[in-house]
Structure 1
């Protein structure tokens, strides 16, 4: 899908959550770049870097830096580098989530205190911390995006602990949109349908979710990372200047079906 040339020309953006070239964040980064944005990308650790570096090269990223949100100081170092490089930030994409495997594959009522806390910290509160550091760099306004899923709204078999976590993420997004709106900063959530990414492969019986989406969605097909990137590009652009506090579904209409 061709992005409108120059739609994001002159804008600077941060993309967090690229795992490899098949990840949702990679699809968004490629769309942002095609629309003219200058980008900073992050990788989790040295083991992950070789999988992220090709994406950073493909989009001509100005910055590629480590970011493990559980490591104190890394996020602050990242935003200091962004300020030094550009002096501002126009948009960011938060596309990270985590749950310990035992908690992810078990019932919500059996989740451990530690596991539930880690899932909330990595998947939700990291977005809050990111917003706090980004706010001073968005002096002329901006847009913050995070990534949710339909399991935040309805019970989805095998999504388990990530359902309550994503529900908390969407609520947090709405409160952030209210708090940051007077500064011209918009906050929205993307909610893609099931996409075959490395992160999604950790969900039990994920193949079943894929088949249900294909057969029940009005469009009878899965959304792609390119579809998500196209909508993300629109949302961070000035064309969506009055869109905030919104959950934007990219699922072929699956969420409207009973």
Structure 2
């Protein structure tokens, strides 16, 4: 029904084959897009590079958003190699373990700042870096969770962080709409990913989601990828600022 043929897409956040970012990258590639894939550091490279090669990624580079200059280096390479970027996917989040596992009101200022910088502000920086390469419009995607608007046990500080991410999506969408640049957040239901495993009792949440979701199915990375690919397509050109639930209806239940 739609094609991403000719699109140049940057994918940030693949850690392994269970990553949401990998499901999205696979969907982008299956629809004909050319990919750039990053990994966090040298330790992550052996896990990510084979996946990037499997996807035929044309650009493969490290990107730690906390290291000054690394994001600029990535976008300089994309400008030189492609001259444009059509879509970016930001699928990274972080909170220090001691803050993630504690009460929100006990969160340290340093931990709160790091969580916001990596999980939210890096998306804004990425959009700003992509903007000059989206002269004909484009799509900017990040990943949220419904713990942004509802209290999810053990999600803790990531709830306020994801709320800030979703608000940032709306403001960025409003600011960039006249340039044809669309901004969205993908909001999957509970998924068994490496990042989610850091949340206390996460497997209990997975079990509850299977029971509560109207479809009685867990979300898969391919479900998320299908939505991401559609939002990146020309057919979604008049959609922006959305927080898109991909959860079998889990978020509508009480």
Range into which the TM-score falls when normalised by the shorter chain: over 0.9
Q: Give the TM-score normalised by structure 2.
A: 0.99
Structure 1 SS opposite 2:191: coil
1:43 aligns with one of 39, 42, 47: 39
1:119 aligns with 2:115: yes
Shift of 1:54: 1.6
Mapped to 2, the partners of 1:60 and 1:196 lie a distance apart of 26
Mapped to 2, the partners of 1:58 and 1:23 lie a distance apart of 15
2:3 aligns with one of 4, 7, 17: 7
1:218 aligns with 2:229: no
Deviations 1:142-166 (A, max 9, x none): 0000000010010000000000000
1:170 corresponding residue in structure 2: 166
1:200 aligns with one of 196, 201, 214: 196
Structure 1 stretches lacking a partner, 5+ long = none
Q: Give the TM-score normalised by structure 1.
A: 0.98
Structure 2 SS opposite 1:88: coil
Runs of 4 or more consecutive aligned structure 1 residues displaced over 3 Å after TM superposition: none
1:129 aligns with 2:118: no
2:227 aligns with one of 231, 234, 249: 231
1:77 aligns with 2:73: yes
2:186 corresponding residue in structure 1: 190
Question: What is the alpha-carbon root mean square deviation over aligned residues?
Answer: 0.7
